[in-house]
Amino acid sequence: MPNLSVNFLGIHSPNPYWLASAPPTDKKINVLRALEAGWGGIVWKTLGSQVKNVSSRYSSVNYNGNRVMGFNNIELISDRPLELNLREIAEVVREFPDRAMIVSLMADNTREKWHELIRQVEDTGAHGIELNFGCPHGMTERGMGATVGQDPEIARMVVEWVMEAAHIPVITKLTPNVHSVVPTGKACVEAGTNALSLINTIQSVTGIDLDTLVPNPYVAGKSVFGGYCGPAVKPIALKMLTTISQDPTTRRVPVSGIGGISTWKDAAEFMLLGATTVQVCTAAMKSGFRIIEDMCEGLSNWMDEKGFKTVYDFIGKSVPALTHWEDLDINYHIVANINQNKCIHCGLCYIACEDASHQSISLAWGKPYNTYAIKEDECVGCNLCKLICPVDGCITMVERRKGEEYLNWKEFQERGLPLNDH
C-alpha cells in the first residue's frame, strides 16, 4: 500500500489531511472526534484577544440543486477564553501525540503581544504555529488578519517579531484578497517563516434575501462582507498556489494548501501543484468528519494505480505544465467528435456552438430524432460542446495538428507566418 504519511517541517502526520482553522477545530470535543475518525492533523481555530461573535454567521451559494457550492462566514476568531483553549490543546496533544497539532494565531499588533501568545502556545506542546494573515472580516477593522496580509512590509515585520520568539515551526497563512499572493509570500519567507499556507477566505456577498432586501447572513437587518470558501473557490486557490510554487523565493518553503478541498481528487490536485499537506473545512462542516475515510482510501488507490509509493513522488509534479500563453504550441489543434452510439440527441451541443461559439456542428432534421455532426473544417477545438454534453464520453476531442513542429506565438510572429493558416 502507498505511504500517505507526511513530514512537514519535522511535524509528522499519518496522512496529508489537516482540518483547517475554523469552527470544527474550536473545541477539544470536536477535535477528538476528528482525530478518532482518522484526520492527520489539526489547525486549532485562531487564538488572540477576546472577541464576541454575532448571530447569524453563515450563508451559502447553492447551484443546480446542490447545497453549499460556496460558503460564506462572518465569524471571528475563537470567542472562547484563551486559557480554556490552551488547556484543551495540551490535552489533545497528550492523547494524540502522533497527529499534527498546529495552532492558528492572531495577536494584537505589537511585538510583545506576539511574543507572549507564542510562549503560551509553545507551553501546550503544540507542534507548530500558523499566523492568520488572512481573515477578511471583523478583524481587519482592528488592523489584523487580511490587513496584515495585504501589505508585504507589515507582514514582514510581524513575521520577524514572531521568529524572534518561536521555537517551533511557523506557517504563515496568506490572504487571497490581493492581486497576487507572491509579494506577501516573498516578504514572509525573507523574514524567516518556515512555511506558507493558502488560501484564506475571499471577501464576498453570497446573495440578498429578496423578501427582506438584506444581504446574507442577516444580523438584525444588516450584514457585512464575509469570507467565501468551499468548492467554488478551488480554481482560485489552485492558481494562487501555483504562483507560490513557481516563484524562486516562495518555493523554498513547504506549503499547506487550502481552498475548496472536498474529495481526494481535490487533494491530489493541490499536491500536484506543490502542497505537502492540505487543509479542509467546508466539506467537514457539510458532511462530517468521516469523509476522511474516503479521502484516504481514494488517494491511496490513485497512488497505487499511478505507481507512487509516497506522496513525495508526485508533490509539485504538475507545476512545470503551467506556463505562459506565449509558450503554448499553436500548431497543436484538436476537433470534436460525436459518438453517435452514445448521443441522446438532446441538441445541447448544437445550441451552444450555434449561439455562443463557432457554428461548427451541423443539424440533420429527422424522425424520431435529429442528428448532429461536427464540421471539422470549422471546429476550433474550444471544448464547449464536450463540456456541455450530459453524456460522459459522447463527445471527445481528437488531435488534428496544424504542423509537426512545436511553434509558439513568438516564433510565429518572427517568421511572419500568415494568420489564416492557423
For the segment 285-301, what is each residue's pLDDT rounded down to a tens digit? 999 999 999 999 999 99
Residue 310 and residue 353 share a domain:
no
CATH of the domain at 264: 3.20.20.70
DSSP characters over 182-227: HHHHHHHHHHT-SEEEE--PEEE---B-TTT--BSSPBTTB---EE
Per the CB < 8 A criterion, the answer to whether 214 and 221 are in contact is: yes
The whole-number pLDDT of residue 136 equals 54
138: pLDDT confidence band, cut at 50, 70 and 90? very low
Residue 218 and residue 128 share a domain:
yes
- Bridge partners (DSSP) of residue 256 are 197, 277
Residue 123 and residue 73 share a domain:
yes
d(C-alpha 385, C-alpha 26), whole Å: 46
Residue 278 and residue 368 share a domain:
no
146: pLDDT confidence band, cut at 50, 70 and 90? low
Residue 338 identity = I
What are the residue ranges of helices labelled H in 96-144? Answer: 111-122
- Residue 12 or residue 147, greater confidence: 12
Residue 148 lies in a domain: yes
The domain tally of the chain equals 2
**Mean of the pLDDT values across residues 161-188?**
96
Note the pTM of the prediction, 2 decimals: 0.93
d(C-alpha 202, C-alpha 239), whole Å: 14
Q: Output the average pLDDT for the chain.
A: 93
Q: Which residue numbers are catalytic? A: 135
The whole-number pLDDT of residue 258 equals 97
Quote the cell numbers at residue 127. Answer: 507542534
pLDDT of 140 > 80? The answer is no
**Mean of the pLDDT values across residues 225-244?**
94
Last residue of a domain, one of 254, 288, 321: 321
CA-based nearest residue to 132, from 89, 86, 76:
76
The whole-number pLDDT of residue 56 equals 84
Residue 334's domain comprises 325-421
Residue 179 lies in a domain: yes
Residue 211 lies in a domain: yes
CATH of the domain at 368: 3.30.70.20
Residue 58 and residue 46 share a domain:
yes
Residue 317 and residue 416 share a domain:
no
The whole-number pLDDT of residue 422 equals 47
Residue 225 and residue 330 share a domain:
no
Last residue of a domain, one of 274, 302, 321: 321
pLDDT tens profile 257-273: 999 999 999 999 999 99
Residue 1 lies in a domain: no
Range with the poorest average pLDDT among 61-65, 99-103, 387-391: 61-65
Q: What is the distance, to the nearest Å, from the Cα of residue 76 to the centroid of all Cα atoms in its chain?
A: 20
Residue 227 and residue 79 share a domain:
yes
Last residue of a domain, one of 298, 321, 344: 321
Q: Under 8 Å CB-to-CB from 214, ≥6 apart: which residues?
A: 208, 221, 222, 223
Cis peptide before 56 (omega within 30 of 0): yes
Per the CB < 8 A criterion, the answer to whether 15 and 6 are in contact is: yes
Residue 51 and residue 153 share a domain:
yes
Range with the poorest average pLDDT among 47-56, 118-127, 161-170, 257-266: 47-56
Helix orientation angle between 152-165 and 182-191, rounded to the nearest 10 degrees: 30
Residue 415 and residue 283 share a domain:
no
Residue 401 and residue 336 share a domain:
yes
Residue 387 and residue 239 share a domain:
no
User: What SS3 state is found at 405?
Assistant: coil
